[in-house]
Amino acid sequence: MDKAVSFFDTSINFLKGVGPQRSEFLKKELNIFTFRDLFYFFPFRYVDRTRFYKIKEVNADMQHIQICGKITHIEIIGAKQKKRMVVDFEDDSGRIELIWFQGIKWMSKKLKVDSEYIVFGRPAIFMGKFSISHPSIEENTEENRKLVKGLQPVYSTTELLKAGGLDSTGIVKLQRALVPQAIEHIYENLPTYLISKLRLMPRKEAMRNIHLPIDNDTLVRAQQRLKFEELLFLQLSLLRSKIGREQTIKGFVFSKVGDNFNTFYNSYLPFPLTDAQKRVVKEIRQDMGAGIQMNRLLQGDVGSGKTLVALFCMLIALDNGYQCCLMAPTEILAIQHFATLKEFLKDMPVTISLITGSTKEAQRRVMHEELENGQMQIIVGTHALIEDRVKFKNLGLVVIDEQHRFGVAQRARMWQKNETPPHVLVMTATPIPRTLAMTLYGDLDVSVIDQMPPGRKPIKTLHKYDGKRSEVYAFIRSELDKGRQAYIIYPLIEESAKLDFENLLAGFEEVRKAFPAHVVGMMHGKIKFAEREKTMQAFAKGEIHILVATTVIEVGVNVPNASIILIESTQRFGLSQLHQLRGRVGRSEYQSYCILMTPYELGADARARVDIMVRTNDGFEISEEDLRLRGPGDITGTQQSGILNLKIADIARDGRILQQARIIATDILDEDRGLVMEKNRILSVELSKLDKEKGDWSRIS
Ligand code: ADP
Ligand code: MG
């Protein structure tokens, strides 16, 4: 094995075909430093180059075509943006044009008139003439024909690498030099019993075929094997850290349910809990009483009543003599939570306060003191809570309301506020897809509130084009006349902030003109904190009828009398954001409406998002669609977690394999939680190796 380590650690400079310049490029552009890095640099797709065609066979429906022929003419035409290189390419059956818009300089050096080439690309037809833009092109030599024929891997590369001769085919050449040697140093890392039970392809064969596939069926099996392996180790590692924590980290035992809980439940709870809320409170209560530190994810759709569940958990902590904190991702949400809790607790002997970035220093000092001497029982706040100078007498429960915004490291810092770590309850603002939860929060226990409070009417969602604005305004007016209130939302996205801001102000003026009989307020991030709070309160009290706002009101804001939300430029919002925004209405017995405004021209993705919103109110379903449309990398904040840096598996597409990996991992650990059985030794060796590579993320949550 030592030999294997040294082989894979060999610097990429020593690979045949990599000189000093290329090795620099590989390091800079692709982070490839060693044989290992290149070997685990997988193709992102494959193309079938089994067949050679004649030019006369080209038709517009073909995805790809591969032809051999001769360049008869090269010409660079146009200037600046319009500059392009047009190459005439012929075989004995006809002629086709090859066109480059980019990389003209080095392409024009590479290509020569009267030389023979192999060309591969996607044909297009324009004014009756066929052409291929940016084809891959190699000299037609015996060696190259052998190189490109068959099922071809495609590696991602960059302009700079291409200029250095390392386009995808260039990387294929390197892999051909590396893979046969590397395979010799590959060993199996899954136990034999698993391989035969699941009929997995052996690792050696899988690694060879991922780079040099024999045929499509073999490739698919190779991919399955490697995806499964990757996800299995991820799940084993998540589940093991969970088990490890349960064994080594003692938790506070909240043994009793006392006065605070009972008094609130019996005397002040304004409505009965839903069955789902009851079940979840019970799950959490048992967890906090078990002597093990709780790490639990609380999922529930927008409006399902997570805050109240959190409150009950906090009351249990209080009943056992501990303090609690509730941490929110934004100031406005922290304020809202504080107001909600304070209202719930107004007749209870419970001390509660709020700390955010805007809290005055003098006030802060008092709070710090009250937290340290235990006078303050519940504190609500933003990340200001994380600061080291915030100390507690005995913090027993941390509730984190997050929008994937808190990184793992931040969560870990809350942990360290006590010698015995507090129980942790993480709530997500919008539901997250099951597969994502299984990975991002895979080491947490999960509770789901799968039921809405009774009496809610499903929100009606409508799609309207900009041209229908006056009709929409008339509808809003009719709602206002019934005594309801409305939100009108404008996008304000960082990069185009100035333009968006002007749109928002213009929109505000327009709304004011259109609703002369009503009070219109405005809310956005640039408005001073005190002012914002005043506006929010005025809206909550019904003194403001229409609130024109940006997404600052996205999460958590709760004004039940608001029954209509109009979202301008809907195409610019993401799905989970739209779902959150829609969740601002439908919080009472009144029929509520969400109107999605867009221009007539809509991209396919934007249209898909609008359609999904119109079709369903189910946040879990929406989150699955979101994952499918965008892929896991783009779901807010998942990148920073580092957990999803997967090499080959794709959470959005490989849900089935993930599910299988989770089940198998659970079975393995149920039988052998320490992975000490001889048959599982191989797993434990591989896991410690991976842990070393990945660092410590899995140990904290
Ligand atoms: P979310 O899960 O989105 O955080 P909230 O906790 O803000 O939802 O609850 C949404 C609204 O529903 C609040 O006004 C809350 O007071 C109310 N609510 C919560 N639980 C119930 C219940 N069991 N019956 C009626 N209303 C409830
Ligand atoms: Mg909430």
What CATH number is attached to the domain comprising 424? Answer: 3.40.50.300
Which amino acid is it at 87? Answer: V
Residues 475, 523 within the same domain = yes
How many whole angstroms separate alpha carbon 578 and alpha carbon 523?
A: 18
CA of 304 to the centre of ligand 1 (A): 6
Mean pLDDT of 110-134: 91
Q: Are 241 and 273 in the same domain?
A: no
Average the pLDDT over 172-186 and give the result.
Answer: 94
| pLDDT interval class at 696 (50, 70, 90) | very low
pLDDT digits (tens, 9 = 90+) for 285-311: 999 999 888 989 999 998 899 999 999
* Average pLDDT, rounded, for the chain: 89
Distance CA 246, CA 530 (A): 44
Indicate whether residue 559 lines ligand 1 (CB < 6 A): no
Which of 616, 644, 675 lies at the terminal end of a domain, its last residue? 616
394 lines ligand 1 (CB under 6 A): no
| Residue 428 CB–ligand 1 contact under 6 Å | no
Query: Residue 480 has what pLDDT?
Result: 97
Residue 426 · residue 444 · CB < 8 Å: yes
Ligand nearest to the CA of 584: 1
Q: Ligand 1 mean position to 452 CA, how many Å?
A: 8
Residues 324 and 400: their CA atoms lie apart, in Å, by: 11
What phi and psi, each to the nearest 5 degrees, are found at residue 376? Answer: -90, 125
Per DSSP bridges, beta strands 129-133 and 123-126 are antiparallel
Which atom of ligand 1 is least distant from the CA of 583?
Answer: 3
What separation in Å is there between the alpha carbon of 396 and the centre of ligand 1? Answer: 24
Buried b (16+ CB within 10 A) or exposed e, 373-400: eeebbbbbbbbbbbeeebebbbbbbbbb
Residue of 432 and 311 predicted with greater confidence: 311
What are the tens digits of pLDDT across the range 634-661? Answer: 554 544 455 567 889 988 889 899 999 9
Give me ligand 2 centre to Cα 49, in Å.
Answer: 53
The model's confidence at residue 699, banded by pLDDT at 50, 70 and 90, is very low
Q: Kindly indicate the confidence band of residue 630, based on its pLDDT and cuts at 50, 70 and 90.
A: confident
- In a domain, residue 645? The reply is no
Ligand 1 pocket test, pick from 558, 585, 588 with the greatest ligand atom count within 8 Å of Cβ, gives 558
- Dig out the tokens for 407 from the structure: 């990184």
Give the residue from 650, 583, 568 showing the smallest Cα distance to 622: 583
- Asked whether residue 215 falls in the same domain as residue 78, the answer is no
CA distance 597 to 64: 39
Residue 351 placed within a domain: yes
DSSP state of 268: I
Residue 184 counted as domain residue: no
Q: Are residues 490 and 540 in the same domain?
A: yes
pLDDT band at 632 (very low <50, low <70, confident <90, very high): low
Q: Looking at the structure, do residues 242 and 372 belong to the same domain, yes or no?
A: no
Classify residue 11: in a domain, yes or no: no
Domain end position, chosen among 386, 412, 428? 428
Give 412 or 581, the one with higher predicted confidence. 581
262-283: average pLDDT: 96
Shared domain for 407 and 494, answered yes or no, is: no
d(CA 450, CA 276): 6
Where is pLDDT greater, at 162 or 139?
139
Residue 633 lies in a domain: no
Q: How confident is the model at residue 397 (pLDDT cuts 50, 70, 90)?
A: very high
Higher pLDDT, 357 or 68: 68
Q: Could you tell me the distance, in angstroms and rounded to a whole number, from the CA of residue 53 to the centre of ligand 2?
A: 60
Q: Across residues 45-58, what is the average pLDDT? A: 91
Amino acid present at 373 = N
Q: Cβ–Cβ contacts within 10 Å for residue 689, how many?
A: 13
> Quick one: pLDDT at residue 541?
93
- With bands split at pLDDT 50, 70 and 90, how would you rate the model's confidence at 314? very high
SS3 484: coil
Supply the pLDDT for residue 554: 65
Clarify whether residues 273 and 129 are in a common domain.
no
Is residue 307 in contact with ligand 1, taking CB distance under 6 Å?
yes
> 558 CB under 6 A from ligand 1?
yes
Q: Count structural domains, the chain.
A: 4
- Distance CA(578)–CA(592), nearest Å, equals 15
Confidence check: pLDDT of 701 > 60: no
Same-domain pairing of 600 and 519: yes
Q: Region 606-635: what's the mean pLDDT?
A: 87
Tokens of 105: 């300089």
How close is the Cα of 303 to the center of ligand 1, in Å? 5
| pLDDT tier at 1, thresholds 50, 70, 90 | very low
∠ Cα 628 634 640 (to 5°): 135
Cβ 657 vs Cβ 649: under 8 Å: yes
Tokens, residue 567? 């979202």
* H or E segment and range at residue 76: strand 65-77
CATH classification at residue 108: 2.40.50.140
* Ligand 2 centre distance from Cα of residue 262 (Å): 23
Q: Find the largest Cα–Cα distance for the chain.
A: 93
Q: Could you identify the atom of ligand 1 that is nearest to the CA of residue 560?
A: 14
Within 13 A of 370's CA, how many CA atoms are on the CB side? 17
Question: For ligand 2, a single-atom ion, which residues have Cβ within 5 Å?
Answer: 556
Task: Tell me the residue range of the domain where 329 lies.
Answer: 259-288+304-428
Q: Is residue 509 part of a domain?
A: yes
Residues 225 and 267 in one domain: no
Nearest Cα neighbor of 433 from 632, 184, 183 is: 632
The closest residue, in CA terms, to atom 25 on ligand 1 is 453
Per-residue confidence (pLDDT) for residue 518, from 0 to 100:
96
- Bridge partners, residue 292, by sequence: 250
Q: Using CB atoms within 10 A of its CB, is residue 470 exposed (0-12), middle (13-18) or buried (19+)?
A: exposed
Tell me if residue 464 falls in helix, strand or coil: strand
Atom of ligand 1 nearest to the CA of 273: 23
Return the pLDDT at 500. Answer: 85
Q: Whole-angstrom Cα distance, residue 250 to residue 234?
A: 25
Least confident of 31-40, 424-433, 670-679: 424-433
Question: Which residue puts its alpha carbon closest to atom 26 of ligand 1?
Answer: 453
Q: Are residues 495 and 582 in the same domain?
A: yes
What SS3 string covers 395-448?
EEEEEEEECCCCCHHHHHHHHCCCCCCCEEEEEECCCCCHHHHHHHCCCCEEEE
Q: Is 300 in the pocket of ligand 1 (CB under 6 A)?
A: yes
CA 322 – ligand 1 centroid, Å:
25
Amino acid identity of 135?
P
Q: Is the domain of 73 the same as that of 137?
A: yes
Distance separating alpha carbons of residues 241 and 244, to the nearest angstrom: 5
Tell me, yes or no, whether 606 and 475 share the same domain. yes
pLDDT score, position 698: 37
Q: Candidates 271, 274, 307, 558: which one to mutate for ligand 1, based on the most atoms within 8 Å of Cβ? A: 307
- Residue 99 tokens read as 């066109």
Identify which ligand lies nearest to the alpha carbon of 580.
Answer: 1
306 CA from centroid of ligand 2 (Å): 6
Distance 275 CA to ligand 2 centre (A): 18
- Whether 448 is covered by a domain: the verdict is no
Last residue of one domain, picked from the residues 412, 428, 444: 428
Residue 558 lies in a domain: yes
Calculate how far, in angstroms, residue 177's C-alpha sits from the geometric centre of ligand 2: 56
584 ligand 1 Cβ < 6 A: no
Q: Whose CA is nearest to atom 10 of ligand 1?
A: 303
Ligand nearest to the CA of 587: 1
C-alpha 99 chain-centroid distance: 37
Averaged over 462-487, what is the pLDDT?
96
What's the first-to-final CA gap in the chain, in angstroms? 34
Are 387 and 361 contacting, i.e. CB atoms less than 8 angstroms apart? no
pLDDT of amino acid 700? 37
Q: Which atom of ligand 1 is nearest to the CA of 277?
A: 23
